[in-house]
Amino acid sequence: MKLERTAYDIAKETYQKYGVDTDRAISELKKISISLQCWQGDDITGFLNQNAAGGGIQVTGNYPGKARNATELRNDLTFALSLIPGKHKVNLHAIYAETDGSVALDQLGVNHFTNWVDWAKKRGVGLDFNPTCFGHPMVKDGLTLSSPDETTRKFWIHHCQNARRIGEAFGKALNQKSVVNLWIPDGSKDFPVDVLAPRQRLKDSLDQIFAEPLDARYLLDTVEPKLFGIGLEGYTAGSSEFYLGYAVKNQIGFCLDSGHFHPTEDISDKISSVLLYVPELLLHVSRPMRWDSDHVVMLDDELFRIAEKLVRNQLLERTHLGLDYFDASINRVSAWVVGARNLQKALLKALLEPHDFLKKMENEGNLTARLAITEELKSLPFGLVYDHFCQTEGVPAQASWLENLTEYETKCLLERK
């Protein structure tokens, strides 16, 4: 008796004609972990300071159902992860510590994240971490680690030192590397006369923060540049050149955020250059709309290019992928799901390329074949392969996950007042 062919069977046969094994591509995709940003779930409110946003950060929208406490936020993340195939991570900011309200930001330790670690262990989820260097009274005149005030600098140095220890503890507890990413808003609304002194102070602060040797098996230090922020349009102490130079010199990780450059810049082309000189890379995948506006990631040309550069050049093992956006104009859980699934689709499409053949054509100077094949690949049914991946992982395929989301919204999110 002849069995009926499935949509995946057809897709598999189609790709076999190009020498591509779809099962292998799925297997490779399953290994790739995406770090979901916790701050999407509550508009960067956190639990230490209810007005944490600032330093050029803005969240717009008032969609109902925002998480009001850590339990609700973890429930929302659990539900979001149930709609994303594979095993992933959650990225925490320091302000998501659970305390009795008496612990200062610079006094946080891993014991203030016990519930997060227990939750992550239970679900096989990794945890990344960030010091929260914004939205705090100790941000003086928009400055933290580059401040001319020694007391201010010491406060933030101590906070960042503790953040590294927390990240290492996460890594040990969960037996997977925790990425601790350092970003500060420090800058100026207009053009300063002295642009060197703030960067000298920032360099000295970083030297103190990274002086303590911690276990690289469980911790990756990364530094993140930014072009500008609201109210900080004229100058940014932690520019791309500053942090790239620091990362190369000290052989720590470098963060590329797809919203932190000029609108005409393409970060996908920076990946291979940066990884020639730093050991590991953190990619914050966002969608800028005219500026660093942190829109939910779409399956657009830039996302495809980012995935292609990682896969074609075999750079995935040295790259950590995380989402970084915050949209309160739509269901916040849906924002995680849409962004993560889109990133997975882009990676899968890249994994479904006949890389060896394309490189062979390129090396032989057969640019006609290279162009023709890469163009044909664009219309092949990679979506059917992703649907099969979802089904094998027990996750709803295509847009059927929206039915699950609607039920969760009705039963849980809309009950929050």
User: What is the mean pLDDT, run by run of 10 residues, along the chain of 417 residues?
Assistant: 79 97 98 98 86 69 95 98 98 96 92 98 98 94 96 98 98 98 96 97 98 98 92 93 98 96 89 97 93 91 97 97 96 98 98 96 95 96 98 96 97 92
CA 297 to mean position of chain CA atoms: 11
Residues 206 and 178 in one domain: yes
Residues 262 and 384 in one domain: no
Residue 80, domain member (yes or no): yes
Which residue, 400, 291, 311, is CA-closest to 353?
Answer: 311
Residues 15 and 62 in one domain: no
Residues 267 and 286 in one domain: yes
Q: Three-state DSSP class for 232? A: strand
Residues 276 and 130 in one domain: yes
Residue 27, domain member (yes or no): no
Q: Half-sphere exposure (CA, 13 Å, Cβ side) for 131?
A: 29
What whole-number distance in Å separates Cα of residue 111 and Cα of residue 210?
22
Tokens of 6: 């499935």
Residues 344 and 389 in one domain: no
What whole-number distance in Å separates Cα of residue 138 and Cα of residue 156?
8
**56 phi-psi bin (left φ>0, alpha ψ -120 to 50, beta other):** left
CB 174 within 8 A of CB 117: yes
Residues 226 and 327 in one domain: yes
State the residue range of the domain holding 222: 32-351
Q: pLDDT at position 11, please?
A: 97
What whole-number distance in Å separates Cα of residue 153 and Cα of residue 165?
19
Residue 362, domain member (yes or no): yes
Residue type, 59: V
CATH of residue 144: 3.20.20.150
Q: Half-sphere exposure (CA, 13 Å, Cβ side) for 299?
A: 16
Tokens of 272: 């291979």
Q: Half-sphere exposure (CA, 13 Å, Cβ side) for 116?
A: 30
Residues 244 and 328 in one domain: yes
SS (H, E, C) 138-163: CCECCECCCCCCHHHHHHHHHHHHHH
Residues 96 and 239 in one domain: yes
Domain-terminating residue out of 351, 369, 395: 351
Residues in the chain: 417
Residues 12 and 136 in one domain: no
Domain-terminating residue out of 301, 332, 351: 351
Residue 171, domain member (yes or no): yes
Q: What's the domain count of the chain? A: 2
Tokens of 122: 């239970």
CA 99 to mean position of chain CA atoms: 26
Active site amino acids: 183, 224, 226, 257, 260, 284, 292, 294, 324
Q: Which residues, including other chains, have CB under 8 Å from residue 182's CB and lie 6 or more apart?
A: 130, 131, 133, 160, 163, 206, 209, 221, 222, 223, 224
Q: pLDDT at position 417, please?
A: 76
Q: pLDDT at position 1, please?
A: 43
Residues 227 and 295 in one domain: yes
Residues 318 and 391 in one domain: no
Q: pLDDT at position 293, please?
A: 85
Domain-terminating residue out of 311, 336, 351: 351
Tokens of 402: 């929206």
